[in-house]
Amino acid sequence: MIAIKTQDLTQDFSQVADRVIKGEKILISQPQNENLVLITEKEYKNLEQMRESRSDLARIKARESIKKLQQQANESGAEKMTMEEINAEIMEYRNEKNS
């Protein structure tokens, strides 16, 4: 990855664009380190797909965790507890933890 200044980008945009199309990533340096990276649309779409895949995976893992918790609650009888009983258990746990 090469770094260029905004001024260089505006003066030599076609050359910079050619380099990006050939696969090079360009860091556009700006004041206060608010830099930008110039990539192709294809690379951007690939990054978005990876981000979405990670989000999907996180949702799947969350669902699996919830199913495990539901199973544990069923096995322990916790699903029959009232909210007051659950809150009392939580408070007791916190008190024990802080002691």
> Can you give the CATH number for the domain in which 33 is found?
3.40.1620.10
Per-residue pLDDT tens listing for the chain (99 residues): 889 988 888 898 999 999 999 999 999 998 898 999 999 999 999 999 999 999 999 999 999 999 998 888 888 888 888 889 889 989 999 999 887
Question: Do 50 and 94 lie in a common domain?
Answer: yes
Q: Using an 8 Å Cβ cutoff, are 20 and 26 in contact?
A: yes
Q: What is the pLDDT of residue 63?
A: 92
Question: Do 26 and 71 lie in a common domain?
Answer: no
Q: What domain range includes position 34? A: 2-39
Q: What is the pLDDT of residue 44?
A: 95
C-alpha to C-alpha distances, 22 to 6, 16, 25, 26, 42, nearest whole angstrom: 20, 10, 9, 11, 12
Q: How many domains does the chain have?
A: 2
Q: What is the pLDDT of residue 43?
A: 95
Question: Do 47 and 90 lie in a common domain?
Answer: yes
Question: Do 48 and 94 lie in a common domain?
Answer: yes
Question: Do 56 and 90 lie in a common domain?
Answer: yes
Question: Do 48 and 91 lie in a common domain?
Answer: yes
Question: Do 51 and 92 lie in a common domain?
Answer: yes
Calculate the CA dihedral of residues 92, 94, 96, 99 and round it to 10 degrees.
Answer: -140
Question: Do 28 and 53 lie in a common domain?
Answer: no
Question: Do 66 and 78 lie in a common domain?
Answer: yes
